[in-house]
């Protein structure tokens, strides 16, 4: 499941966005595929450098938003038993994001 999520302007909006965008998509997948989380690898975009970037709000720390994405995958019940997580793609990420 690919998820290229751009940061949101506030923490509350980010939580709601991730709930809909990540957990909502996993729930849709689970309704179509038996044991979906155990058969799924989530690919999160780490695009943080021009020209391709998800870092769209200057007043928001993009790395904090990324941390929220990983925390959401680790704690939301929709992802219980998730097979794996990966990031895409380091070629569009600034050095600090990769670290």
d(CA 40, CA 37): 5
pLDDT digits (tens, 9 = 90+) for 19-66: 999 999 999 999 999 999 999 999 999 999 888 899 999 999 999 999
Alpha helices in the chain (DSSP H): 11-18, 24-32, 62-75, 95-98
Q: What's the pLDDT score for residue 51?
A: 86
User: Domain total for the chain?
Assistant: 1
Contact 36, 29 (CB under 8 A): yes
Can you tell me the mean pLDDT for 71-81? 98
- How many CA atoms are closer than 13 Å to the CA of 55, on its beta-carbon side? 20
* Domain coverage including residue 76: 2-98
Pairing relation of β-strands 2-3 and 41-45? parallel
Q: What's the pLDDT score for residue 46?
A: 94
Of the chain, the percentage scoring pLDDT greater than 90 comes to: 86
d(CA 45, CA 52): 10
């Amino acid at each position: 499941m690919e998820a290229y999520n751009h940061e949101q302007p506030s923490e509350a909006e980010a939580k709601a966005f991730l709930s809909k965008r990540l957990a909502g998509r996993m729930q849709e997948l689970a309704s179509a595929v038996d044991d979906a989380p155990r058969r799924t690898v989530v690919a999160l975009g780490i695009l943080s450098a021009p020209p391709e970037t998800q870092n769209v709000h200057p007043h928001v720390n993009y790395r904090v938003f990324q941390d929220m994405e990983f925390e959401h995958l680790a704690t939301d019940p929709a992802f219980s038993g998730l097979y794996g997580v990966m990031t895409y793609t380091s070629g569009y990420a600034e050095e600090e994001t990769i670290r």
